[in-house]
């Protein structure tokens, strides 16, 4: 058995691109080591940027958790592997509306965790942690968000997802009003958010500090979580933190 394993390994090594290059040019020492590194990075890049996206139908095929909004389920440094998914393939409580999309929340303030979603036709839905975790591109904050789907909504104007971080009190798409404004040059900026919620966010709220995201559509979704790998993402975060002199890598804490 051991001899068979050794024979298989020798065969693999024979067709290793790095070994082929080293044999072809008779390389040894630091030059051979350099070839190993270059080929290794090349294979990893090909796997991550080409092969895995094709297999998983998601780009990027994996993301690293960088905040505590999913604390209790995911932590900073966890790697979430994704798979592309359609509306029917994402699991979450379904609400069908005979109106255009809209919703409100109970309780209607920012100090208590949302317990219930209320829809225009009178339907209510308790907020539970049973839906799939997805990664999507937020139009308002301009970042990729890893949160749970708490409701899927089929409305007259399309299909939507309502999302929320497990550790967050509010769904991503509720709009928090402004309590205090400050005039900075020709621009009026909100310096303090209110405790009240007026409506849901829309694309006109880009950059508004009280809007994490608009209601998610299929076009926004990168993929849904199929499994996660704890801790390993810290390797990339630490490297980026060092190379960028602390400007990238850890926007939040290293651990929740």
Half-sphere exposure of 69 (CA within 13 A, CB side): 22
Asked whether 22 and 35 are in contact (CB, 8 A), the reply is yes
Indicate the pTM of the whole model.
Answer: 0.87
Q: How many residues does the chain have?
A: 256
Grouping H, G, I as helix, E, B as strand and the rest as coil, residue 19 is helix
In the chain, the number of structural domains is 2
Asked whether 53 and 59 are in contact (CB, 8 A), the reply is yes
- In this structure, is residue 244 part of a structural domain? no
Q: Are residues 51 and 81 in the same domain?
A: no
- In this structure, is residue 242 part of a structural domain? no
Q: Are residues 99 and 226 in the same domain?
A: yes
- In this structure, is residue 250 part of a structural domain? no
End-to-end CA distance of the chain: 47
DSSP letter, residue 215: P
pLDDT cut 90: percent of the chain above it = 60
- In this structure, is residue 23 part of a structural domain? yes
Tokens 């070994």 identify what position?
Answer: 19
Strand partners, 81: 62, 227
Query: Once rounded to an integer, what is the mean pLDDT over residues 42-54?
Result: 86
Q: Are residues 154 and 46 in the same domain?
A: no
- In this structure, is residue 246 part of a structural domain? no
What crossing angle do the helices spanning 29-46 and 17-25 adopt, rounded to 10°?
150
Q: Are residues 96 and 141 in the same domain?
A: yes
Grouping H, G, I as helix, E, B as strand and the rest as coil, residue 162 is strand
Q: Which domain holds residue 173?
A: 62-234
Q: Are residues 89 and 123 in the same domain?
A: yes
Q: Are residues 117 and 175 in the same domain?
A: yes
Q: Are residues 105 and 179 in the same domain?
A: yes
* Strands (DSSP E) found in the chain: 62-64, 79-83, 94-96, 104-106, 116-118, 124-126, 133-137, 144-155, 158-164, 174-184, 187-200, 221-229
Grouping H, G, I as helix, E, B as strand and the rest as coil, residue 54 is helix
Q: Are residues 6 and 126 in the same domain?
A: no
pLDDT at 8: 67
pLDDT at 150: 98
- In this structure, is residue 29 part of a structural domain? yes
Q: Are residues 27 and 143 in the same domain?
A: no
Residue 21 has pLDDT above 90, yes or no: no
Q: Are residues 36 and 163 in the same domain?
A: no
At 158, list the tokens.
Answer: 């399309």
Better-scored residue on pLDDT, 31 or 224: 224
- Phi, psi of 146, rounded to the nearest 5 degrees: -110, 95
- In this structure, is residue 198 part of a structural domain? yes
Q: Among the listed ranges 4-18, 45-59, 138-152, which one has the minimum average pLDDT value?
A: 4-18
pLDDT tens track for 159-182:
999 999 999 999 999 999 888 888
Q: Are residues 95 and 157 in the same domain?
A: yes
């Amino acid at each position: 058995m051991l001899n068979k394993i050794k024979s298989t390994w020798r065969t693999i090594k024979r067709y290793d691109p790095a070994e082929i290059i080293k044999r072809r040019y008779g390389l040894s020492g630091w030059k051979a080591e350099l070839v190993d590194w270059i080929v290794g990075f090349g294979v990893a890049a090909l796997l991550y940027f080409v092969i895995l996206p094709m297999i998983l139908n998601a780009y990027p095929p994996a993301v690293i958790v960088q905040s505590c909004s999913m604390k209790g389920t995911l932590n900073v440094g966890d790697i979430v592997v994704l798979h592309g998914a359609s509306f029917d393939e994402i699991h979450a409580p379904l609400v069908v509306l005979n109106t255009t999309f809209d919703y409100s929340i109970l309780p209607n303030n920012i100090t208590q965790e949302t317990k219930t979603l209320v829809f225009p036709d009178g339907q209510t839905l308790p907020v539970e942690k049973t839906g799939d975790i997805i990664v999507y591109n937020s139009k308002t904050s301009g970042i990729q968000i890893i949160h749970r789907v708490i409701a899927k909504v089929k409305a007259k104007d399309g299909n939507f997802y309502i999302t929320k971080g497990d550790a967050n009190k509010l769904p991503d798409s509720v709009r928090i009003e402004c309590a205090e404004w400050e005039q900075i040059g020709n621009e009026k900026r909100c310096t303090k958010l209110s405790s009240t919620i007026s409506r849901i966010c829309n694309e006109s709220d880009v950059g508004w500090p009280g809007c994490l995201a608009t209601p998610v559509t299929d076009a926004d979704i990168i993929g849904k979580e199929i499994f996660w790998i704890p801790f390993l993402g810290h390797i990339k975060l630490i490297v980026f933190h060092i190379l960028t002199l602390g400007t990238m890598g850890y926007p939040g804490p290293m651990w929740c």
